[in-house]
């Protein structure tokens, strides 16, 4: 009987202790589809020169990015300015993705991607074709919305 009392008291104490809320496992396929949509929106914005659509995909408070060539932007306003300047000089943009790889972190709140794409446009009456542009980036899910927080693009040097 003496051992029954402490065991009963411990059982009652543990039963009354607040339980940690069960953490739900994120639906990684759904999260990946959400990231895919953000990347598709970036492609669409690039092709249609839609700065509003582009800006909705970007974490404007913490963006880090490097563009093609020597273009470096560390804030959204810098990237926005660079895009608008570029778009005044080009038309008929087209993006064709070849190899997009998206990974979702275990928490379901961080994602990263890599991709290759071809980008063509008309500049001063001439068609420009950039093949095998490499882009990598990181996204965070904030308030239920995926946003790009880091992005980098580069392209291979021409070969003879």
Q: Which two tokens stand for residue 42?
A: 């970036």
Separation between Cα atoms, residue 70 and residue 83, nearest integer Å: 14
Residue 33 lies in a domain: yes
The boundaries of the domain holding residue 144 are 28-154
Q: What is the domain-level CATH number for residue 135?
A: 3.10.450.50
**What is the per-residue pLDDT across 27-61, written as a single tens digit (0 to 9) for each?**
989 999 999 999 999 999 988 999 999 999 999 88
Residue 4 lies in a domain: no
Contact, 67 vs 82, CB < 8 A?
A: yes
Residue 1 lies in a domain: no
**What is the per-residue pLDDT across 83-96, written as a single tens digit (0 to 9) for each?**
888 888 888 888 88
Closest C-alpha to 116, from 138, 96, 137, 92: 96
**What is the per-residue pLDDT across 111-160, written as a single tens digit (0 to 9) for each?**
999 999 888 888 889 998 888 889 999 999 999 999 999 988 887 776 66
Question: What is the secondary structure of 23-85 as a DSSP string?
Answer: PPPP-HHHHHHHHHHHHHHHHHHHHHT-HHHHHTTB-TTT-EEE-STT-EESSHHHHHHHHHH
SS3 content of the chain, % helix, strand, coil (to 5): 30, 40, 30
Q: How many CB atoms lie within 10 A of CB 149?
A: 18
């Amino acid at each position: 009987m003496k051992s029954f009392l402490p065991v009963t008291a411990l059982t009652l104490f543990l039963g009354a202790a607040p339980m940690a809320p069960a953490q739900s496992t994120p639906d990684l396929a759904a999260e990946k589809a959400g990231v895919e949509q953000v990347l598709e929106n970036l492609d669409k914005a690039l092709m249609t020169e839609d700065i509003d659509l582009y800006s909705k995909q970007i974490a404007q408070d913490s963006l880090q990015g490097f563009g093609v060539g020597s273009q470096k932007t560390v804030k959204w306003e810098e990237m926005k300015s660079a895009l608008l300047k570029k778009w005044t000089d080009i038309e008929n943009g087209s993006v064709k993705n070849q190899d997009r790889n998206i990974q979702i972190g275990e928490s379901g709140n961080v994602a990263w991607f890599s991709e290759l794409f071809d980008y063509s446009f008309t500049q001063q009456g001439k068609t420009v074709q950039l093949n095998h542009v490499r882009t990598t980036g990181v996204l965070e899910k904030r308030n239920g919305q995926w946003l790009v927080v880091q992005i980098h693009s580069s392209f291979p040097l021409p070969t003879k």
